[in-house]
């Protein structure tokens, strides 16, 4: 379907770059008839997992340099070519109850609805897939640990827009309904990317689902959905539909391939011959996750003292309450220090970064560094990847392990 490019190690590329001083590469010349010819330029530090559609993650060690990921370094996960949207003629179609529909311009979205800002971590369902494919091959892009990033998003609240269109707060005993999103990105048959979320996620009191036009105080970049995208705090990236064209409410989930026949979890016993996508729920809230971003796997660390860094995040607004780090493969543990913005109980939408400085045990030639996090519901990460292996390689949240060599004193 698409070519996978193996990039040379990023450290060479990074020479001369510092976060905050990033400058994009010159765009390459478009090939005639290439649907990806109009894709925007990207930062060369990104590790590209697929060029067409563009899928890339930042180097892990850059990821945790900033609590809010700079827009250019934010992981990019496109399913289709980036559409070229004219902001002047852009209209968001919102289908109201009873067949009425609104067509909202960008100016109307910005002026009619209060601007709401919220810091939200987005994670791809396939983050850390590479570890799962070490167990057994899976179908999907080989994401490392950095298909996750955090930004401050600004936009109209979806609940305000839906209320304006005539929808009410959820009735208690109403049947299950869904808010469906359709992107302006289309495949060659004309089918658009699509996804849906439960109505209660959108319309609950205090719900913070955004129709976002700002990312870290800037206009939404083209790779992140310009001019408008959905941001669903606490929910898998696949539902944060970019280049949003249409919003509707339905008694059924989005009919999109990506809602019905992808982004679902299965038992390790299920393979491509036996899988039945109707038997598993579409991934919405993600489970507790953490990973080590420093040191890098295979690095040589000095004896004496070691600093380990990483991130931790959980879905559904469940805050991270603790990160345990082991230097001996999980036999003994220390508690890491958590940093980042204050977490609102039940609405902890953004990650914590963490750090542990600990003595390297003397006469130790190698360290097996492990991290595991605990969320506000005291859910924990599983010890190993094999028992959560699944044919699509999603939901890879076992303990993260990094083996390093200790330099001689």
- Work out which of 244, 283, 367, 404 binds a second copy, going by CB under 8 A: 283
Nearer to a second copy, 23 or 274 (CB): 274
Closest to 249 in 3D by CA, of 298, 299, 206, 200: 200
Q: By CB under 8 A, what part of segment 134-173 binds a second copy?
A: 169-170, 172
What CA–CA distance (Å, rounded) separates 288 from 397?
7
Say how far apart CA 107 and CA 115 lie, in whole Å: 12
> Least CB distance from residue 275 to a second copy, whole Å?
12
Q: Which of residues 223-282 bind a second copy (CB under 8 A)?
A: 265, 267-270, 280-281
HSE-up of residue 19 (Cα within 13 Å, Cβ side): 17
Per CB under 8 A, the segment of 11-19, 33-41, 74-82, 285-293 that binds a second copy is 285-293
How buried is residue 250: exposed, middle or buried, by Cβ count under 10 Å (0-12/13-18/19+)? middle
198 counts as binding a second copy under rule CB under 8 A: yes
Residue closest to 55 by CA, chosen among 33, 80, 30, 37: 80
Question: Judged by CB, which is closer to a second copy: 80, or 312?
Answer: 312
Q: Which stretch binds a second copy (CB under 8 A): 9-17, 58-66, 284-292, 354-362?
A: 284-292
Residue 218 CB, shortest distance to a second copy, in Å, is 26
**Does 285 sit near a second copy (CB under 8 A)?**
yes
Q: Considering the rule CB under 8 A, would residue 284 count as an interface residue with a second copy?
A: yes
**Between residues 54 and 263, which has the closer beta carbon with respect to a second copy?**
263
Ranges within 337-376 binding a second copy (CB under 8 A): 345-346, 372, 374, 376
Chain residues that interact with a second copy, rule: CB under 8 A: 169-170, 172, 176, 198, 200, 204-206, 265, 267-270, 280-281, 283-288, 315-316, 318, 321-322, 324, 330, 332-335, 345-346, 372, 374, 376-384, 387-388, 395
């Amino acid at each position: 379907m698409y070519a996978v490019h193996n990039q040379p190690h990023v450290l060479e590329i990074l020479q001369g770059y510092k976060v905050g001083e990033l400058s994009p590469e010159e765009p390459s010349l478009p090939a005639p008839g290439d649907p990806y010819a109009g894709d925007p330029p990207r930062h060369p530090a990104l590790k590209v997992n697929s060029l067409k559609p563009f899928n890339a993650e930042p180097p892990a060690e850059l990821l945790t340099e900033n609590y809010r990921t700079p827009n250019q370094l934010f992981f990019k996960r496109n399913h289709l070519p980036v559409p070229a949207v004219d902001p002047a003629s852009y209209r968001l179609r919102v289908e109201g109850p009873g067949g009425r529909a609104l067509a909202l311009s960008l100016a109307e979205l910005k002026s009619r609805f209060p601007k709401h800002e919220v810091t939200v971590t987005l994670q791809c369902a396939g983050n850390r897939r590479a570890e799962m494919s070490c167990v057994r091959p899976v179908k999907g892009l080989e994401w490392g640990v950095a298909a996750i990033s955090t930004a401050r998003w600004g936009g109209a609240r979806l609940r305000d827009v839906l209320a304006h269109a005539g929808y009410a707060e959820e009735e208690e005993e109403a049947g299950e309904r869904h808010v469906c999103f359709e992107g302006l990105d289309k495949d060659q048959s004309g089918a658009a990317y699509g996804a849906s979320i439960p109505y209660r996620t959108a319309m609950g009191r205090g719900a913070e689902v955004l129709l976002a036009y700002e990312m870290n105080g800037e206009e939404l970049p083209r790779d992140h959905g310009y001019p408008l995208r959905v941001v669903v705090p606490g929910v898998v990236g696949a539902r944060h539909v970019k280049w949003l064209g249409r919003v509707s409410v339905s008694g059924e989930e989005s009919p999109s391939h990506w809602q019905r026949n992808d982004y679902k979890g299965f038992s390790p016993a299920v393979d491509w011959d036996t899988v039945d996508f109707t038997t598993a729920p579409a991934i919405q809230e993600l489970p507790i996750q953490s990973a080590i971003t420093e040191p890098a796997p295979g690095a040589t660390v000095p004896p004496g003292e070691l600093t380990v860094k990483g991130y931790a995040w959980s879905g559904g607004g469940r805050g991270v309450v603790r990160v345990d780090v082991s230097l001996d493969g999980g036999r003994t543990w220390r508690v890491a220090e958590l940093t980042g913005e204050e977490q609102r109980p039940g609405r902890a939408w953004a990650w914590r970064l963490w750090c542990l400085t600990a003595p390297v045990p003397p006469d130790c030639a190698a360290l097996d560094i492990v991290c595991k996090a605990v969320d506000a519901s005291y859910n924990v990460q599983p010890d190993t990847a094999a028992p959560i292996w699944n044919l699509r390689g999603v939901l890879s949240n076992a303990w993260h392990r990094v083996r390093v060599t200790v330099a001689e004193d």
